[in-house]
Every structure is written in C-alpha cells, then in structure tokens.
Amino acid sequence: MDNKHKILITGGTGLVGYALKQISKNYESVYDFVFLSSKDANLCNYEETIDVFKKIKPSVVIHLAANVGGLFKNMEHQVEMFEHNVKINMNVVNCAFHFGVKHFIGCLSTCIFPDKITYPICENELHNGEPHVSNYGYAFAKRMLEVQIRTYREQYGVNYMCITPCNIYGENDNFSLENGHVIPSLIHKCWLAKQKNELFVCKGSGKPLRQFIYSADLAHIIMVILQKSFMEIQLPHNIIVSVSEKEEVSISYVAHLIARAFDYEHNLVFDNMSADGQYKKTVSNEKLMELLDDTHFSFTKIEDGINETVAWFEMQKIENIQNLRL
C-alpha cells in the first residue's frame, strides 16, 4: 500500500515549480509530486479547479500559480493582475479546504508590503499601509490570499500558511523582455545586445535596492517548512523567505554582474529617463532563520546564482538554435 503524501504544486512548470522538480527526487520515498501547469487547467475557472482536485486528490498543496510580471507589466495591467490573481487564489484555497487538503503553503511576495514603512519590514506589517502604486493591483490580490489563508486557519484550525519570498531568480524563469522580472529580463536583454553588438541598456538609474533569493534555495526552504509542518511544529501563518538585510544589492550591481557573466560589461549603460519603481523594500528574515536554525542552511551568493542562471539561459539558446537547424 502506497502511504506517500500527494503534493499538488500549482504553477508547477514556472520558476519555483521547476526548482522543486529538480529536488523532488530527494523526497520521492515520502511524497508523490504532481506539477500542474496552466495547460492542465485554468485556475481562474472554478469548475476546472474542482476537476483538478477531484482527479489528483492531494493531501498537500504548494500554491505557486499566479499572473506575475515585472515592473512595467504590473504598471500597465493593474486590472488583470488583480482580478486574475484573486480568482486563482479564491478557487485554489476553497477547493483545497473542501477536498480535505491537510497542509497548504501559499506563496506571496515582498513587493506587496506597504510602500511607506520603516525598515526592515516584518511579517506583521503587511497591512500597515498601501503598497507602492506601481503594483497595487497585484499586491492587493496577494494580500487577500494572506487574509483568506489566515481566516481558514483561524476558523477551521487547518494547517494552512503563507511564505513571502523576496525577489526570486534562477533557471527556467520568465525571460520575457516585456513581462519578466528584473534579473531574467536583463539577462535576455544583455544576450541580445551582445548578439547584435549593441549597447546593453538597463532601464532606470540602477539605484533601487533589492534582496534576491535563488530559486533552488527557495525550493529547499519550502520542503524544510513542509517537513516541519508534518512534524506538527506550530508554524507562523506567514514567514518571510529572504536573504539577510546585508545581502541587499542595487539593480546597478545586478546589471554589472549579468554583463560580466556575458563578458559585456564595457557596453552597459543606464536609461535614467525610465521609471525606477519602489526604491527599496528591505525585509527581515529573523523568523525564517530561527526556523532554519537546526538545518545548517546557507544561501547561494548572488554572484554564483547569476552565473548559474546565465549559463542555463545560454544553454537554452544554443539548444533552440540547434533545433531550428535540424
């Protein structure tokens, strides 16, 4: 008889889902993983979401699915970012509860914290003011996921919780020039600039500060949190998952790292006429580090993570070009 716990990972083919899949073999004796993609079901549709839960019958859900994008997508598509994410979250959490899911981890983002606030930001300050105007549609939708999970937890006593990662990057990211987050977009832009022997232009001044977490690190932390949940350790309803404050870096530093990885740093320039977005959103990872105290976990240095991500991206480009020539 198979006593494995079945884990449904929504957004299973995205950045974090890919990272979880890479390490899933380490947990196959305990868990049966199901990686759900947008091709399998439209989670904005309640009936399709019900069908997913009827078919898979998970006991655990790691909810990563979302309509996400970088600064300019968030600014230009506020309605879609709000409505799509509210629908997805409402459907997934509701179905998880009604189909008897025992453990639920929902993924938020540090970009949803208040814009005007003292630093470093802690988990209990999530609703202490409005988010930055550049992404309030997405941010308020994600805040409602935190509220939804907290109310289910309080009213029904279920083992549901949120994690709030800082900026995530890594292999299998969305490298879109228009809709990707800052690191994957800059990687793609630098690669193109080098191919065309053009300037590598980074939008904005490069001065804003960010904390970045490598996707493989986040995947590992998610599994640690899940294992502690099964040990019936009383976990907070929301945990910030981030590198420390001292590892916060500027967008300029990130752009230089990317350009250096392509050996193209001499052609990097900054477009000071473009919007910078929120200047900083420094968070505290104190609660996380207490949770990881017995695991000897260490974060991947951003210099190493960017080099790994650039190498992965270049390999994908080489393989695509080779396939086109077949």
For the stretch 177-194, pLDDT in tens is 887 889 999 999 999 999
Residue 203 falls inside a structural domain: no
Q: With H, G, I as helix, E, B as strand and everything else as coil, classify residue 56.
A: helix
Q: How far is C-alpha 305 from the chain's CA centre?
A: 15
User: Which residues, at least 6 apart from 309, have a Cβ–Cβ distance to it below 8 Å?
Assistant: 169, 170, 171, 173, 183, 184, 187
Residue 161 falls inside a structural domain: yes
Residue 194 falls inside a structural domain: no
Residue 324 falls inside a structural domain: no
Question: Which residue in the list 138, 152, 169, 214 is annotated as catalytic?
Answer: 138
CB of 208 closer than 8 Å to CB of 251: yes
- What would the mean pLDDT of 98-110 be, rounded to a whole number? 96
Domain of residue 229, residue span: 5-173+211-246+282-301
- What would the mean pLDDT of 26-35 be, rounded to a whole number? 95
In this prediction, residue 295 has a pLDDT band, given cuts at 50, 70 and 90, of confident
Q: Which H or E run contains 97?
A: helix 78-98
Active site residue 31: no
At 111, which CATH number?
3.40.50.720
Residue 144 falls inside a structural domain: yes
Say what percent of the chain tops pLDDT 90.
Answer: 82
**Within a 10 A sphere around the Cβ of 148, how many other Cβ atoms?**
20
CB of 249 closer than 8 Å to CB of 210: yes
In this predicted model, what pLDDT tens digit does every residue of 14-25 receive, in sequence order?
999 999 999 999
User: Which residues, at least 6 apart from 271, have a Cβ–Cβ distance to it below 8 Å?
Assistant: 201, 202, 203, 204
Residue 53 falls inside a structural domain: yes
Residue 19 falls inside a structural domain: yes
Whether 123 shows a pLDDT value over 80: the answer reads yes
Q: What is the mean pLDDT of the chain?
A: 93
Number of structural domains in the chain: 1
Residue 112 falls inside a structural domain: yes
In this prediction, residue 276 has a pLDDT band, given cuts at 50, 70 and 90, of confident
Give the pLDDT of residue 132: 87
Indicate the range of 97-106, 214-223, 262-271, 278-287 predicted with least confidence.
278-287
Question: Sign of the C-alpha dihedral, residues 303, 174, 23, 294?
Answer: positive
In this prediction, residue 1 has a pLDDT band, given cuts at 50, 70 and 90, of very low
Q: Which of 113, 71, 105 is nearest to 89 (CA)?
A: 105
Which comes out higher in pLDDT, residue 132 or 74? 132
CB of 153 closer than 8 Å to CB of 235: no
In this prediction, residue 2 has a pLDDT band, given cuts at 50, 70 and 90, of low
Whether 326 shows a pLDDT value over 50: the answer reads no
In this predicted model, what pLDDT tens digit does every residue of 72-90 receive, in sequence order?
676 777 899 999 999 999 9
Which backbone phi and psi does 241 adopt, to 5 degrees?
-115, 105
